Amino acid sequence: SGESGAGKTESTKLLLQHIMNLCKGNSQLEQRILQVNPLLEAFGNAQTVMNDNSSRFGKYIQLRFQESTVQGAKLSEYLLEKSRVVQQDTGERNFHIFYYMFAGLSSEQKELYGLLDPSLYRYISGRFGTQEVAEHWKHKYQEVCNALDMVGFQEQEQVDMQAILAGVLSLGNVTFEPEESDGFVKVSEASQGWLKAAAVSHKKYSQKPYGQLVCRAPCSPVSPSVSCCCSRCADVRDSIAKVAYGRVFGWIVCKINELLAENVDPEVELSEIGILDIFGFENFAVNRFEQLCINLANEQLQHFFNHHIFQLEQAAYKEEGLPWETITFNNNEPILNLLLAKPFGVLSILDEQSAFPQATDKTFVDKLNSIFKGSLHFQPARGRVLGFSIVHYAGKVQYDAKGFLEKNRDTLPASVRGLFISSVTPLLIPLHIHHEPRPTLARVKSGHDALLLWLDGLLIFLCPCQHSLMVLMERMYSANPHFVRCIKPNSQKEPGVLDNQVVLLQLRYNGLLETIRIRRDGFSWRPSFEEFAER
């Protein structure tokens, strides 16, 4: 654990190399396991203002052993930041793989995938980089291809995967405009080529090359404006892009697990080492729903650390009747209660508001301000800013509440299922969406034949972040943990620079000063009676 940019992912790679080396083997399985991290980094990491290679998801790697030989591995991923596919803030980039593809694909391959100049694509904000950076990305692309081959991905699977990513970029350039005669909203004439490129890349139409893009936009009954309908259609476009990317990432993880699964008799008992590498605490100039989920995960891990290092440790000393002066620590339980309590925690209120069609981000913030008035760990935003601040264990973070309800609902057009099922690309087909659309309010026409996207028959998952974190914490509490605390040396991403104040702040809020004291004064080595007697 540690702040964003503190070195968690690099430490994980070193730890994996060390464990594989201790196995004293050089089997193909061990080499495959070592290739997993660079592969996932390409698809799950991105440049942020805090870190040039920031993990935008959490991963838990389970290594399974029979005696001292590794027999298999399993990977679990948590909370991929899919919103990054369609939007990045200033100074940030999309997921690495998009840039690697532009730098590494040959002209013939780009033509095959329908890729043009990278400056044309809205989803990567037209930013590419210097020639030196492009050379680095070209090298990284080759590393990704080598890792895909090493882990065991087939050539056609790699082609399909890159075709989908190219289609996602093309889809981002599709725009909408009103149709003069009948009040419909249609795909703009200027972006018909992008729609065609996205359709071909996703192989969505096995019989007909294109489809009629029909969206229904649930415009306000009071003001059914065309701009509202265009905005809703753009939301659907972005939803499809996020689903497609999330599907590719999930498929990569599933495929890795298939290829690394242990091949031993089920009767054989295997021991296990699990390594959790999860996104670090974040505090940007603008913090959104994603940062709240990330910081909540870090709050829970800090509580888990406190529970093991301070509470269980000191309880054991008291139970043994040892002379002991209690060490106090910064307990972040009140912050977790503020976030997770039912029915009046921040996320419970967010779920409640998400269930009301008339609720808005403003009604959500108003309710928070009313319920948490006077709380030590909650502060309303000043002036007309739509947001709030939470005083986390690592410091105060101000959150911009715009989009909180929409992201928490995780809405998908209900018959996007049909869109993906009609694809002839196997990667896109297994989307388990069970929902039927209701009658149309507004439609979008593209001038081609029959592809339906419904906008107001929405599939809703309330706070996937809570469920994902709950499963993760259950795993953590059932294990025997060892903690690796990563300390960020400076905030400028500079090598060889140690900023004393930056380091001291982390030592304090992580509870490491108290940890040093409990390790110094306590009993950190616990031999069994047999070990003691033998010595």
Residue 206 is assigned to a ligand binding site: no
- Residue 280 bears catalytic tag: yes
Q: Tell me if residue 9 is catalytic.
A: yes
54 is catalytic: yes
CA atoms within 13 A on the CB side of 152: 14
Q: Provide the pairing of β-strand 458-459 with 412-413.
A: antiparallel
What separation in angstroms does the CA of 271 have from each of 12, 63, 367, 454, 529? 19, 8, 48, 48, 23
414 is in an annotated binding site: no
Give 175-179 contacts, CB < 8 A, sequence gap 24+.
175/234, 176/229, 176/230, 176/233, 176/234, 176/444, 177/230, 178/226, 178/229, 178/230, 179/445
Q: Which of these is catalytic: 30, 77, 81, 282?
A: 282
51 carries an active-site annotation = yes
Q: Which of 72, 172, 211, 280 is catalytic?
A: 280
Residue 2, marked binder:
yes
Catalytic (active site) residue 183: no
Length of the chain: 535
The answer to whether 313 is a known ligand-binding residue is no
Exactly one of 55, 306, 354, 415 is catalytic; which is it? 55
Catalytic residue among 1, 5, 37, 287: 5
- Indicate the pairing of strand 451-453 with strand 213-215: parallel
Consult the annotation and say whether 496 binds a ligand.
Answer: no
DSSP 183-229: S-EEE-GGGHHHHHHHHHHHT--SSSS---EEE-----SS---HHHH
Q: Which of 4, 415, 425, 510 is catalytic?
A: 4
The single-letter DSSP state of residue 261 is: -
DSSP structure string for 52-79: TTEESSEEEEEEEEETTEEEEEEEEEE-
**69 a catalytic residue:** no
Q: Which of 9, 37, 48, 295 is catalytic?
A: 9
- Is 24 marked within a binding site? no
Alpha carbons 39 and 27: distance in angstroms, whole number: 19
Encoded tokens for 9: 């992912």
Active site residue 55: yes
Angle between helices 155-171 and 226-260 (to 10 degrees): 160
> Vertex 161, ends 158 and 167: CA angle to 5°?
140
CB 261 within 8 A of CB 48: no
Residues linked to residue 398 through DSSP beta bridges, in sequence order: 389
Q: Is the peptide bond before 343 cis (omega within 30 degrees of 0)?
A: yes
Dist CA 189 CA 83 (whole Å)? 27
Q: Determine if residue 9 is labeled as part of a ligand binding site.
A: yes
Catalytic residue among 1, 12, 45, 54: 54
Ligand-binding annotation for 383, yes or no, is no
Q: Which of 37, 51, 468, 515 is catalytic?
A: 51
Catalytic residue numbers, as ranges: 4-5, 9, 51, 54-55, 280, 282
Q: Binding site for ATP: which residues?
A: 2-9
Binding residues: 2-9
